[in-house]
Amino acid sequence: MLFNQIVNLRTKIVFRHIDFFTLGQTEPQYDGKTISIDLSKNANVGRTYVHECLHYIFPEFSETEVLRTEREVWKSLTPKQKFFIYKRVFNRRYRHHLE
């Protein structure tokens, strides 16, 4: 199941302001797998995290395919799995700052 691939993906998470339309983005130019999430936007942070993880898991997917897969994955998650995603995002252990 994709949930296992997402939670086993070791990522660094950065909270920062991103351009007007972007909720999150991958940051491949930094060491390892880094995901930036903009908390100033009214968006589901868990879904944003899942979306960005899917970009790392399926680099060949177009944005449309990632959006479709994200929607399917999010709908299939149990409340406990969603809680685990949020815990992963907001756990201090996973917070890092870009330099």
pLDDT tens digits for range 57-85: 999 999 999 999 999 999 999 999 999 99
Q: Measuring CA to CA, which residue among 25, 26, 46, 41 is closest to residue 90? A: 46
CA distance 79 to 19: 31
- pLDDT recorded at residue 99: 46
Residue 87 has pLDDT above 70, yes or no: yes
Question: 35-47 pLDDT, tens per residue?
Answer: 989 888 888 999 9
Q: Is residue 51 part of a domain?
A: yes
Pairing of strands 34-37, 24-26: antiparallel
Angle between the 45-57 and 79-90 helix axes, to the nearest 10 degrees?
80
Output the pTM of the full model.
0.86
Residue 97 has pLDDT above 60, yes or no: no
pLDDT of 82 reads 96
Residue 84 lies in a domain: yes
Q: How many domains does the chain have?
A: 1
- Domain of 25, CATH number, reads 3.30.2010
Torsion angles phi and psi, residue 11, rounded to 5: -125, 155
Range of the domain at 65: 2-90
